[in-house]
Structure 1
Amino acid sequence: MEPVVREWAPSWPVSLGGTLGALGRGRHDPTYRRTPDRALWRTMRSPDGPATQRLELRDGVVVSTAWGPGAAWASDRLPRILGADDDVSGFDPSPHPLVAQQWSRYGAGMRTPSTGVVLETLVQAILEQRVTGLEARRSWGWLLATYGEPAPGPAPERMFVFPTADAVSAVPSWAWHQAGVDGSRSATILRAASYAGRLQQCADLPHAEARARMEALPGVGQWTSAEVAARALGDADAVSFGDFHVAKNVVYAMTGEEDGTDERLAELLAPWPGHRGRVQRLVEMTGISRPARGPRYSPQDFRGR
């Protein structure tokens, strides 16, 4: 299998981790891997088929090597994957000192990715609804390893490509149950798979229209569409309203208030129209979170019901 190689010299000092780091779902994500040679490996189900893409930096030049039927698509999209659509020229971090500090530290190389793969990003977000990150990562890994296909090319061990829409549609209800995915989320995933073509078109729609199309699916709300927009569509304004932790942690980091709400978060982000998701991510990168209160959330087990 001959790889497709592309070299691209961005006009900014691109950071692979700063731009694509939010795509990885834990150390064992079968679609995302960092290797000791500082390369970043990703798999994707492109419109042309499965692809593995290896990215590395050489003296400011991004070198992409891709394998599989979708290799040419992944190579062609390289600039957009690394945030070329993300215009930061109008971003002013000065309204808040923490944002300004974080932008000074990370902003030079950090952009909002536009991976262009909609269904797999949407399914990943649906799996993350109303459960812990650990539960979601387990279900994601199970889906890829059981119904996906091995990553093409010389990918690191246990990397897989997201299954086809038809393969997702064929997953039986008992298998979702065994994987800890409740009926509500599995039904939403099956609906999404049945509209895979329409959803993929979101990659080329204006952000508001794309999000409206996703949210027209029962079970997909503003939180889920925001997660997809921030990872797959290059939307730097997408904020995770409705998240169990985001409002509380971001509000606490910016103000010291421990009772953060979505309404308060919206107030704090108001000075940055078009860049609110960027600010959310910058603040989250501090690692600051509000002090724990109350009992720890217990993972749910749907396998026995």
Structure 2
Amino acid sequence: MTSLGPRPIPASQSGGRRGRIDGVELDFERCYRAVDSRDQRFDGWFYTGVTSTGIYCRPSCPATTPKPGNVRFYPSAAAAQRAGFRACRRCRPDASPGSPQWDERGDLAGRAMRLIADGVVDREGVPGLAGRLGYTERHLHRILTAQLGAGPLALARAQRAQTARTLIETTGLGLAELAFAAGFGSVRQFNDTIREVYGVAPSQLRDSVRRRRGPDPTGGGTISLRLAYRPPLHAAALLEFLALRAVPGVEEVSDGTYRRGLLLPHGPATVALTPLAGHVAATLRLADVRDLAPAVARCRRLFDLDADPEAVDATLGADPALAAAVARDPGVRVPRAVDGFEMAVRAIVGQQISVTAARTTLSRLATAAAPTVSAPLSVDQGIGSGSPVHPRRPPLDQPGGEGGLGAFPGAAELLALPGEAFGMPGARRETLRALARAVADGGLDLDPGADPDEVTRALTALPGIGPWTAAYVVMRALGDPDVLLGTDLAVRRGARALGLPHDATSLEAHAARWRPWRSYAVVRLWSASARSERSEPRGHERKADPASGKPKEQA
């Protein structure tokens, strides 16, 4: 496991008292100091249960610091709920940033947490989650309980409670309909869970919101919420990166807001994300409110909101060559992806062409794949009501949502396109089709819980895909924080501009000091390259060798 930021360390390493939950050890003294100082950096790393009140909080809760004898520490909100604590209604611990430990890790627990956040347990149950991960349900339960203090059902239940609270506070849905939208199997289960987690009935939660905000929390048929993050967040760098690569008709950046269409499990959606001090303001328009949790998870992934920027910057800033850039621009994130297949298509299309040309080609593909269907429903229309909606994507040219933006086509839609719709060399078109077939038939998993090594092997087995493309997909689609694109021309130009070794072998050796955050160093090197030569990162695969079917790599 990588060593991350302000994570509470085991007591065996610190000599402090221990809090132990089903095998999870937390350093009591360090955790308590974080609570006493209301240190926001620890929000999401652990949760504080207060035995005298029966409430659990985030470390930065503004309430009076409890006595040490009344405190218990837990590695997850689900573990605190399992121990009988209810969520603090003042600090809202269930809305904390996700733990970067689970967001960044590539092991079973980390992959499982990302899939649970994406709603897999709600849609497919624990058997579906275990099947995706390639383990038995029993083994998965044992691993998650040992590392997070709760099994997959309890972790999914905690997420459902948070989703339900968001819907209660931001929509006008009836409570019975809302219960099923949040993923509960019955209204009784919904009522019992809300009472247990928040200490009040669902109707009381809604009444309290109406007293604070007025009678209509729906905001004209949208869901508006705040996505927390750990500061600092270099919003300008993030938006600039996304704006430069925005695919017309799918996404756009204007006036400090990123907007795009999404393809979610139950239908299309549009989102608008505006970085602000302390949070990202998110406005979601969903065809089906059951997609709230996966929509939030994908927005968080795209903006890398669960990262620990202080830990990243401390490691990179220790290198004299990067120190000035880190001091000048703290909190740089790795822009990630809302969909793994989309990111893989982008990487392939971008091989050996400019960013502008790639955007044009990708927009052409999206337009060709867009069916003529109705716009997304507003959340106050309810589930399954209103005009028919295509199950995969809205149109690109119809008003509604965020300026008529539509989702990027999926694998099946891309396979259905005629050859002339691609507008690219035949070899690259066949690479895209091979990718789409692999995803459509289940041979290639690009979901956030996929194993990076397996994805790399599967991608490089396809014609026209080499190590650079596979590594780029692993970095941006799977969120691997430790990818070095050492052969990338812009990375090497950026390294030269900063006085670093700039041949691939020497750069690889130097970059060992950046572990486990080499992906973040890549983003900074791209920025250095753009500043010095106004160049852009691009792939390195040539067309496939007709004799071998394998791509020729550039030096």
Same fold at TM > 0.5: yes
User: Any conservation in 1 of the 2:230–2:306 contact (CA below 8 Å)?
Assistant: no
Q: In the aligned structure 2, how far is the partner of 1:85 from the partner of 1:214?
A: 27
Once the two structures are superposed, residues 143-189 of structure 1 have per-residue CA deviations (whole angstroms, 9 ceiling, x without a partner) of 122223535843136x332113222001222332xx2x111111111
Moved more, 16-25 or 273-282: 16-25
Once the two structures are superposed, residues 231-286 of structure 1 have per-residue CA deviations (whole angstroms, 9 ceiling, x without a partner) of 2222222233443x2244023113277xx432233133222122222112112223
User: Any conservation in 2 of the 1:31–1:161 contact (CA below 8 Å)?
Assistant: yes
Q: In the aligned structure 1, how far is the partner of 2:493 from the partner of 2:446?
A: 34
**Counterpart amino acid of residue 133 in structure 1:** V
Partner of 1:174: 420
Partner of 1:127: 349
RMSD: 3.1
Picking from 76, 84, 96, the partner of 2:319 is 96
User: Any conservation in 1 of the 2:471–2:483 contact (CA below 8 Å)?
Assistant: yes
How do 1:109-128 residues align onto structure 2 when only pairs under 5 Å count?
Answer: 110-128=332-350
Structure in which a larger fraction of residues adopt helix:
2
CA 1:291–1:105 in structure 2 vs 1: closer, same or farther (change >3 Å)?
closer
Q: In the aligned structure 1, how far is the partner of 2:482 from the partner of 2:299?
A: 21
Q: Does 2:469 correspond to 1:224?
A: yes
Partner of 1:156: 403
Q: In the aligned structure 1, how far is the partner of 2:260 from the partner of 2:361?
A: 19
Picking from 241, 252, 256, the partner of 1:22 is 241
Partner of 2:301: 80
Extract unaligned runs of 5+ from structure 1: 293-305
Q: In the aligned structure 2, how far is the partner of 1:7 from the partner of 1:193?
A: 35
Once the two structures are superposed, residues 93-148 of structure 1 have per-residue CA deviations (whole angstroms, 9 ceiling, x without a partner) of 2453341112122223x222443411111111110112232322221121122223
Q: In the aligned structure 1, how far is the partner of 2:273 from the partner of 2:533?
A: 35
Q: Does 2:229 correspond to 1:6?
A: no
Moved more, 96-105 or 69-78: 69-78
CA 1:268–1:241 in structure 2 vs 1: closer, same or farther (change >3 Å)?
same
Q: In the aligned structure 2, how far is the partner of 1:25 from the partner of 1:150?
A: 23
CA 1:274–1:30 in structure 2 vs 1: closer, same or farther (change >3 Å)?
farther
User: Any conservation in 2 of the 1:8–1:63 contact (CA below 8 Å)?
Assistant: yes
Partner of 2:459: 214
User: Any conservation in 2 of the 1:98–1:283 contact (CA below 8 Å)?
Assistant: no
Picking from 496, 499, 523, the partner of 1:252 is 496
Q: In the aligned structure 2, how far is the partner of 1:49 from the partner of 1:9?
A: 25
Task: State the Cα distance separating 1:21 from its structure 2 match.
Answer: 4.2
Task: State the Cα distance separating 1:225 from its structure 2 match.
Answer: 1.9
Partner of 1:143: 365
How do 1:225-244 residues align onto structure 2 when only pairs under 5 Å count?
Answer: 225-243=470-488
CA 1:225–1:217 in structure 2 vs 1: closer, same or farther (change >3 Å)?
same
Partner of 2:196: none
Task: State the Cα distance separating 1:39 from its structure 2 match.
Answer: 1.7
Q: Does 2:427 correspond to 1:184?
A: yes
Q: In the aligned structure 2, how far is the partner of 1:119 from the partner of 1:155?
A: 22
Partner of 1:302: none
User: Any conservation in 1 of the 2:228–2:305 contact (CA below 8 Å)?
Assistant: no
User: Any conservation in 2 of the 1:102–1:283 contact (CA below 8 Å)?
Assistant: no
**Counterpart amino acid of residue 186 in structure 1:** R
User: Any conservation in 2 of the 1:86–1:236 contact (CA below 8 Å)?
Assistant: no
Once the two structures are superposed, residues 208-234 of structure 1 have per-residue CA deviations (whole angstroms, 9 ceiling, x without a partner) of 333333333332222112222232222
**Counterpart amino acid of residue 86 in structure 1:** A
**Counterpart amino acid of residue 7 in structure 1:** R
Q: Does 2:504 correspond to 1:262?
A: yes
- What count of residue pairs does the alignment treat as equivalent? 284
User: Any conservation in 2 of the 1:125–1:228 contact (CA below 8 Å)?
Assistant: yes
Task: State the Cα distance separating 1:201 from its structure 2 match.
Answer: 4.4
Extract unaligned runs of 5+ from structure 2: 1-219, 371-393, 536-555
User: Any conservation in 2 of the 1:16–1:82 contact (CA below 8 Å)?
Assistant: no
**Counterpart amino acid of residue 182 in structure 1:** P
**Counterpart amino acid of residue 40 in structure 1:** Y
Q: In the aligned structure 1, how far is the partner of 2:461 from the partner of 2:239?
A: 28
**Counterpart amino acid of residue 167 in structure 1:** E
Partner of 2:49: none
Secondary structure of the equivalent of 1:255?
A: coil
Q: In the aligned structure 1, how far is the partner of 2:330 from the partner of 2:356?
A: 29
**Counterpart amino acid of residue 251 in structure 1:** A
User: Any conservation in 1 of the 2:446–2:477 contact (CA below 8 Å)?
Assistant: no
Q: In the aligned structure 1, how far is the partner of 2:280 from the partner of 2:510?
A: 36
Give the greater-gyration-radius structure (CA). 2
Q: In the aligned structure 1, how far is the partner of 2:283 from the partner of 2:330?
A: 26
Q: Does 2:450 correspond to 1:205?
A: yes
CA 1:251–1:46 in structure 2 vs 1: closer, same or farther (change >3 Å)?
same
Q: In the aligned structure 1, how far is the partner of 2:280 from the partner of 2:418?
A: 41
Q: In the aligned structure 1, how far is the partner of 2:400 from the partner of 2:321?
A: 43
Q: Does 2:280 correspond to 1:62?
A: yes
CA 1:15–1:66 in structure 2 vs 1: closer, same or farther (change >3 Å)?
farther
User: Any conservation in 1 of the 2:459–2:470 contact (CA below 8 Å)?
Assistant: yes
Q: In the aligned structure 1, how far is the partner of 2:453 from the partner of 2:306?
A: 16
